[in-house]
Amino acid sequence: MVDIDLALSILQNKVRRQILERLVREPHYPMQLADLIGVSQQAIMKHLKELEKGEFVTKMKVPSDKGGPPRTIYSVQQAISLRIDLGPDLFTCEQRKLPGGGPMRLSKSLPEHSIRVAESVSGRKKISVGEGVSHLAELSNILEDLDAQRDAIISLHQHIRNRISAAVDADFEMYEQRAMVHSIIEAPTQRVDFTALSKELQLGQKQLNELMDEVSTRLERQISERAGHIIAGNQNSSLHWWLGNYKPKK
């Protein structure tokens, strides 16, 4: 799968997006694309090369209808989803590869109310336009509902981040401390990548250890104050659920 930075760089161009809009319908020749989009064939070829580099499209040779040399035709190659969420206390940018397999294999991950559609088309190589439009309309409505739910969850996520940010600003004076806490906040279910954090803050191992000790002590104190009791542990106890390759001082 193409690197997300390369994907964003390629797709920022409107002509390339217009090319993809047409290629998802059916394969096209470069001359067709030039006529449809209204740019020169030379420009189309340059954009197709960029899309090839990003593995968005693939090309193949097909016999000419008029008996001439084979012609090159292009089609879409990969299925991905790009997501960008941005707000005052929110930024996520990720690329996800869409799952492969037939309808019934996908049904294991589908919402219950869309499984009927998967069952209806499973094992069939062709369906009528009328039936297909009906299924697509149903799936579009399901996607709209899911997107609305996702938007609400993202907004709630942003509200929580906003409230955490206020606490971080109040409780941690040093920029390096705040950066470490934000690293925990941004990926609460993952281990902190201390190697990357060390490079970002330009800290050596000793400085990073001292910083982690300061941050973990303050966070432990916050947890105990909120819970209303003391957390007991030895001097080098760590908050293991967000520690990655951090090694306490011995």
Token output for 35: 């006529």
Say which residue, 38 or 237, is predicted with more confidence.
38
Q: Roughly how many angstroms between the first and final C-alpha of the chain, as a whole number?
A: 42
Close Cβ partners of 78 (under 8 Å, ≥ 6 residues apart): 1, 2, 55, 56, 97
Task: Please give the model's pTM, rounded to 2 decimal places.
Answer: 0.72
Alpha helices in 12-128 (DSSP H): 14-23, 30-37, 41-53, 103-106, 115-121
Task: State what percent of residues in the chain have pLDDT above 90.
Answer: 43
Residue 78 has pLDDT above 80, yes or no: yes
Alpha helices in the chain (DSSP H): 4-11, 14-23, 30-37, 41-53, 103-106, 115-121, 129-171, 175-186, 194-201, 205-227
pLDDT per residue as tens digits for the range 92-139: 898 888 888 899 899 889 999 899 999 999 999 999 999 999 999 999
| pLDDT score recorded for residue 242 | 44
| pLDDT score recorded for residue 243 | 44
Domains in the chain, CATH or no CATH each: 4-78 (1.10.10.10), 81-156 (no CATH), 172-242 (no CATH)
Residue 239 has pLDDT above 70, yes or no: no
Confidence of residue 226 (pLDDT cuts 50, 70, 90): low
Q: Judging by beta carbons within 10 Å of its beta carbon (0-12, 13-18, 19+), is residue 57 exposed, middle or buried?
A: buried
